[in-house]
Amino acid sequence: MFRRRMKHGKRYQEIIGALIRNGLGYLINDFGLAELLSVSPKKTDTPRANHRSTGERIRLFLEDLGPTFIKLGQLASLRRDLLPESIIVELEKLQDCAPPFSYDEVKNTIESEFGASIDDLFAEFNTEPLATASIGQVHQAKLHTEEPVAVKIQRPNIRPQIETDLEILEDLSIMLESRFAWAKAYQLRDIVDEFSQALLSELDYYLEGRNAERFAKQFEDDANIRIPSIYWDFSTKKVLTMAYIKGRKISEFFDGDVIGYRRKVISDRLIHSMLKQIFIDGFFHGDPHPGNLLVLPGDILAYMDFGMVGRLTEETKYHCASLVIALMRADSNAIIKSVDAIAAIPDDIDLHLLREDVEVIREKYYDIPISQLSLKDAINDLYHIAFKYHIRFPADLTILAKSLITVEGVVQSLDPAFSLIEAARPFGEKLLRDRYHPKKVVQKSWKTFLDQMEIALELPKNLRDISKTMRKGKFRMEVVVPDLHLFLEKLDRISNRLSFAIVLLAFSIMMVGLMIGTSISGQPTLIWKNPIIEIGFGVATLMLLWLLFSIFKSGKF
């Protein structure tokens, strides 16, 4: 870690400067950065930032540090199970925008990736970007086959910068876990690892292209959903070329009807396509905000930008459906059971208090018509409980929650009377019916039987291996000691007292030896002419009395 700090010293100084400028200088000591600073952290807070809320300071700090930290804030805004609502609200304001980079840099990137001139690759290439973000920007172009395309180019030198920031975040997470119980309880290092994987995957445009193709396959039989096709001959890890889709942003339909389009049909297609992705396919768009949704003539819906996706296993899909049904039925026991199946609940949690808080939510939604229920409110209430009891949800489920909340907001802007929970109920009930279909039950029972048989067949071999290991004296036992630091402190005190007692005993033996030797010889020695014996005896007596006093005082005689 020290070597990394030396290697990334300049970036650490930039982080320290951003903390100071945004009124977060008091975190410098907590982050273990004080030794990199030439002045005292107590003198570094900016008075102008003191009137801002903590959430606002954090948002400005992240914006100050650029793409990696902006992405960190955006992903952190999904984690209502980890952060208080006041900070989440500010993080949701983070915009993934950046100034455009020059056409010369675009050209250099494309030509270095393909080893050919941009004129050889494209018949036309618009020098002005269609859209710009922190990681890349999009340009409109045309192939020599006259097909219009959108070309996404990665920002130059963005990968080394992001990798540096990720190494720094990893070091900080390790340090915080060693210093603070809350960081260890939330497994901060694992969260940073999840974030790192998500961000690095966005830097690989091959992955985004494959995601787009997978979505296209999911909707190949649905003429009402359009996914842009990928041109692999013109794509690399840093350049992604896809079909150019011309349509209207879905936000254009929020304020009223548009001639030739039906808002209710658009909202129906959006919500049903998202629910199909989640509950049927288990592979869904992770960022369906209005900027990533286009509407084509005929009320055809087009999805864009597949850098962030979510995945759900069959088991997770089932438990998610169970949770939706439990929320609709206001069943406290079913809610707790579903959460327990999909989240990491601490062992020391007070289940009685948890049940009481779930009952409060149940009462809140009891006897309310399904059409009036808000999934956003229900999810936020659930995450409030998760934050309170340190219940940690998997990353894909936080992406799912964000996607559902975002889609519900878009749909309600198109059709205020639409209920996402009402629309989700058939999908949840279908999953439950499929779960208990006789064919599925037989399949699962057979799989369970095979798993148990495999364990039984392996048991003799495993027992034999354990027996061999024990005979060789190589059997290892791991002992976990709670509050290890307190245990070590007590061990130090015991060893110190034992050492003191040994020294006292040795001193006493030495004095007794001198006295006996002198009495046997009958001749006074040089030591005997001086009051050494009396002084030694006095010192030994004082030490003995002090030791006895300490033992009685501790109450552990």
Mean pLDDT of 361-373: 68
Contacts 24+ apart (CB under 8 A), 79-82: 79/191, 79/398, 80/379, 80/380, 80/383, 80/384, 80/386, 80/387, 80/398, 80/401, 81/343, 81/383, 81/386, 81/387, 81/391, 81/392, 81/393, 81/398, 82/186, 82/191, 82/387, 82/392
* Paired strand residues for 411: none
Closest CA to 100 of 153, 142, 141, 64: 153
Backbone angles phi, psi at 23, to 5 degrees: 70, 25
Least confident of 286-295, 454-463, 487-496: 487-496
Residue 508: the pLDDT is 63
Residue 39: the pLDDT is 47
DSSP, res 277: I
Q: 31, 175 in Cβ contact below 8 A?
A: yes
Residue 85 Cα to chain centre, angstroms:
16
Helices and strands: H and E segment counts in the chain: 23, 11
Residue 481 has pLDDT above 60, yes or no: no
- Between β-strands 248-249 and 283-285, what pairing exists: parallel, antiparallel or unpaired? unpaired
516 versus 382: which is more confidently predicted? 382
Contacts 24+ apart (CB under 8 A), 199-204: 199/68, 199/71, 199/72, 199/75, 199/162, 199/166, 200/162, 200/166, 201/307, 202/71, 202/135, 202/307, 202/308, 203/135, 203/154, 203/158, 203/159, 203/162, 203/237, 204/237
User: DSSP assignment of 384-428, as one string?
Assistant: HHHHHTT-B--HHHHHHHHHHHHHHHHHHHH-TT--HHHHHHHHH
Query: Given pLDDT bands bounded at 50, 70 and 90, which one contains residue 51?
Result: confident
Provide the percentage of residues in the chain whose pLDDT is more than 70: 74
Mean pLDDT of 89-101: 79
Two tokens at 307?
Answer: 């850098």
Residue 518: the pLDDT is 57
Q: 382, 399 in Cβ contact below 8 A?
A: no
Query: Given pLDDT bands bounded at 50, 70 and 90, which one contains residue 37?
Result: low
Least confident of 146-160, 288-302, 417-431: 417-431
Residue with tokens 């058939």: 426
Q: What mean pLDDT is reported for the chain? A: 79
Closest CA to 109 of 137, 74, 82: 137
Query: Given pLDDT bands bounded at 50, 70 and 90, which one contains residue 307?
Result: confident
Query: Given pLDDT bands bounded at 50, 70 and 90, which one contains residue 75?
Result: confident
Q: Please, which residues have CB within 8 angstroms of residue 277's CB and are 6 or more apart in sequence?
A: 215, 218, 283, 284, 285
Residue 429: the pLDDT is 72
Provide the percentage of residues in the chain whose pLDDT is more than 90: 22
Mean pLDDT of 254-282: 89
Q: Please, which residues have CB within 8 angstroms of residue 46's CB and are 6 or more apart in sequence?
A: 20, 21, 22, 23, 25
pLDDT tens track for 529-555: 556 555 666 666 676 667 666 655 555
Q: 261, 268 in Cβ contact below 8 A?
A: no
pLDDT tens track for 220-255: 999 999 999 999 999 999 999 999 999 999 988 888
Residue with tokens 């552990």: 556
Query: Given pLDDT bands bounded at 50, 70 and 90, which one contains residue 557?
Result: very low
Mean pLDDT of 35-47: 53
Backbone angles phi, psi at 279, to 5 degrees: -90, -25
pLDDT tens track for 483-506: 555 556 566 666 656 666 666 666
Q: How many CB atoms lie within 10 A of CB 194?
A: 17
Q: Is 287 a catalytic residue?
A: yes
Backbone angles phi, psi at 138, to 5 degrees: -115, 135
Catalytic choice (45, 81, 268, 287)? 287
Residue 441 has pLDDT above 70, yes or no: no
Q: 77, 91 in Cβ contact below 8 A?
A: yes
How many angstroms separate the CA atoms of 315 and 373, rounded? 26
pLDDT tens track for 169-222: 888 888 888 877 777 766 778 778 878 888 888 889 999 999 999 999 999 999
